[in-house]
Structure 1
Amino acid sequence: MTDTLLETPLAKLHGELGGRMVPFAGYSMPVQYPAGIMTEHLHTRAEAGLFDVSHMGQAELVGEGAAAALEKLTPADVQSLKPGRQRYGLLLNADGGIVDDFMVANTGGRLFLVVNASRKHIDLPLIESVLPAGVSLRPLPDRALIALQGPAAVAGIATLIPEIAALSFMGVWEGVWQGLPLIISRSGYTGEDGVEISVPAEAAEAFAKTLLGLPGVQPAGLGARDSLRLEAGLCLYGNDIDAAISPVEANLVWSMGKRRRMAWDFPGADRIRGELDNGPKRLRVGILPEGRQPARSHTPIHAPNGEVIGLITSGGFGPSVNGPVAMGYVVRQHADDGSALQLQVRGKFLPARVAPTPFHPRRYAR
């Protein structure tokens, strides 16, 4: 596996912790540890899980006009982002499809970007292609990224770095701890309170071990990360959003700045404006199957009369809700909460209904 796959700076630690490694986005990544996915999921909800997300792409945009340049590719309002704050955004293609979703932070004097592992080879050249003279994109392959998530996460790391306790959701702190230059955001992709920490790669293992020594912290893998984000109703690129899906269809209009929706000066604006005015043909919705049988990605969705009306994009068992949960796209006429659906699972039709997301309450530090 390691002959063809990249490894993160925490590869040795995963081995020591008994991580079961699988290929993911070109990397060898831990899907779970000996405790198992369900235990890791529930422990993160109750205390704190430590996730290696170093496969993600990190970069910084430097130079006057960096925010305006990035807005050539996204409808997010980057120029209004204050120092010490972070924002979720979407990179769009000319047709209004989603090239990727990303995080952007204003660290004061530069923008810090985190993009998806499977898309960084596309995102970074795309961003570089729109930069004016005086603005430069600097990839940061020499940094690891660690997510500490759960109700005990911030209290734990604040015993090391007290400033983190004062951050609100999407707040960012940059500083030096024991000689290490860190960038820490109060954010994550589990629906829980927590932090994501950018740390120099050579110090990542020692830093992760320090975090694992905090009260209530246990390692968690990709399996728990996926079930946590699904319960929280959060999109996974390549499953729930892709280059053919618009922000309107994906129910991500909230990520588009008000100023940007007045100017309509971003890629795919004509399509998106039309969908906002007239309604899209399909919408991403939450889906609750009846019974205990999960409906996985690519499961066909039918109306009660048998007509095919959509497709499941993410699905599985939700440990916190103690039942199956899913997301998918259905034609707009069947997208209202409570709408009856039939899911074709292993040749049988299972009843389901459209349900609001998140399936489990998000507990961000507002």
Structure 2
Amino acid sequence: MEKVISDKTKSGHSLFYHLRNNNWLYRVISVLLALGLWYMTGREDVIDKTIVVPIELLNLPRDLVIASQFKRNIDITVSGPKLAIEKMNSGSVTRQVSLANAQPGTFVINNDTDSVSAPRGISVLRVQPASILLSIDKLAQKYFPVVPVTKGEVAAGFQLNSLTIEPDGISISGPETVLSQIKELRTKVIDLSGLKESKQSQVPLDLTPDIVNLIGDTSVTANIKVSAKTVEKAVSGVEVELVLNGKKQKVSPARADLLLRVPQDIAKKGVDLHKLINLTAVVNPDGETANLTATSKGDNGLKIEVIGIFPATVRLLSPPPKPPGDGQAAEHNSGKATPARGGDSSSPKR
């Protein structure tokens, strides 16, 4: 018996010695340690996490449109390897919804754990919200005029000539039920208070939230034309002095009457209009008559409009002699304009 035990002991020692000398023991231990480490590491990588997944709407018919705001993301709780979930969280997964069979009305998107196709090795545990409602409507296009909204009055002595908007209308595409409730687009309030000159400015439109969702915050250009109020004023007995080739010429009639349009405040102040205008004459080709024109004198900053001159033509009492056979010379000289100075006559009552 002792011999048998002794033989087995020797055999075990021999096997251990053989394994040790051939590095098999170390190899087995290394494999066992690697398996244990892999098992522990794999267990640590498995996590539960809630991530946001975008909703992707597909195949919506061209004649339909989504008419309401809706939740564009869902929250899903998943379980799986950490690295795989982080990759999934980067936006590589979406909740796809086909709208190929959608009709005008309410469309319900039902969300469950089978709604999202998760990568292999990842389980979907929960999905929130469980359902999403879409309002589907017919797609329409409509043209809306843009109407300016104003407040206040221009400064005293001035008038608003025009207020135009560019563009004066806008075409909008969107849900039929939304567009049917609107007749026009209005601007935010344009303040005209105390305005004394023309101006151009950008004005935002006063839009409802539904229209803002379709075209965004939109502005238009307001062109405001303002001018001083004017009145017609007659100026009588303006003496005409015509100087031709350095010599004073007598004309008939010797005086002319003017009809002017002047700023209202100038007329009220009783300003002598003779001092604000110039008369000039252009000799006609016949050398015997001249046409009269009137302009505002100097750069006085006043806008004076000449409505008429009476008479418009005067006759030279002593016309210069024409060179014999030189009609062209007379015609050449007729194009020269010479100033005529107004007299001191007071303005007549109309």
TM-score of the two chains, using structure 2 as the length reference = 0.17
- Specify the structure having the higher radius of gyration (Cα): 2
> Which structure has the higher relative contact order (CA within 8 Å, separation 6+)?
1
More strand per residue:
2
